[in-house]
Amino acid sequence: MLFKLEIGDYSEDGYGVHEPVIYETNYDVAAIAEGYKKSCKKYGIQFNRGDNDFTGLGLKCWDKRALWSNPDMGANWLDEKMYDLLTHTGVVPEEDMMPSLLSEGKYLANYDSESDEYANAIMRFIALSMPDDFTYRIQETENIPCLNDTLGVNLGYGLLVP
C-alpha cells in the first residue's frame, strides 16, 4: 500500500509550505495512524501541535512535548530528556543529533531540513507501536505510475484556474 506523509503546514492554515514523502508499506494508513497515536500515548510525545493531543497528557498548542511542531526554529531544539527518549528508542540515531554550541543540554536533529529524514524519524516512532512484521520504505514519486503520463493528456485541466 502507498501512502503520503506531509511534512510541514499540510492544512495550509499558516505558512503554507509542505512536502510530501511517499511510503510503500504492508499496513493501511488507518493502522499506521493508530500506531502513531499509540506511540504518542506510550512515550508522551508527538510530532503534531499539542492542540490535537494524542498523548493523553493535556498538551497545549506549542507544548515542548509536541516536537518539531512550532514554526519558530528555536523551538525545535530538544532538551536532554527529549534527546534521551529519541536516541534510546532509535527514533533519531545519536549520530544524527547536533548539540547546541550556545546552550548546554540542547540538541537538534541534524537533517538540514530534509523532509524525508524527518519523515523517516516519524515512521521509526510509529514503528515502535506497530506489529513486528511492519515494513515501510520511501517511494520516489517517479516510481509511482501516473495515469496522465500513460494517457499523455492533462485531466481536468480547466478545473484549477485561479
Q: Which pLDDT tens digit goes with each residue over 16-65? A: 777 888 999 999 999 999 999 999 999 999 998 878 899 999 998 888 89
Do 60 and 44 contact (CB within 8 A), yes or no?
Answer: no
Cell of 54: 494524542
Q: DSSP H helical segments within the chain, as ranges?
A: 29-43, 80-88, 115-127, 147-151
Type of residue at 126: I
Do 55 and 49 contact (CB within 8 A), yes or no?
Answer: no
Read off the pLDDT of residues 67-103 as tens digits, 9 standing for 90 and up. 888 888 677 888 899 999 999 999 999 999 999 888 8
Read off the pLDDT of residues 100-148 as tens digits, 9 standing for 90 and up. 888 888 888 888 767 889 999 999 999 999 999 999 999 987 777 777 7
Extended strands (E) in the chain: 2-8, 18-25, 78-79, 97-99, 106-109, 136-139
What sign for the dihedral angle of Cα 119, 95, 82, 91? Answer: positive
Beta sheet of 136-139, edge-to-edge order: 2-8, 18-25, 136-139
pTM: 0.85
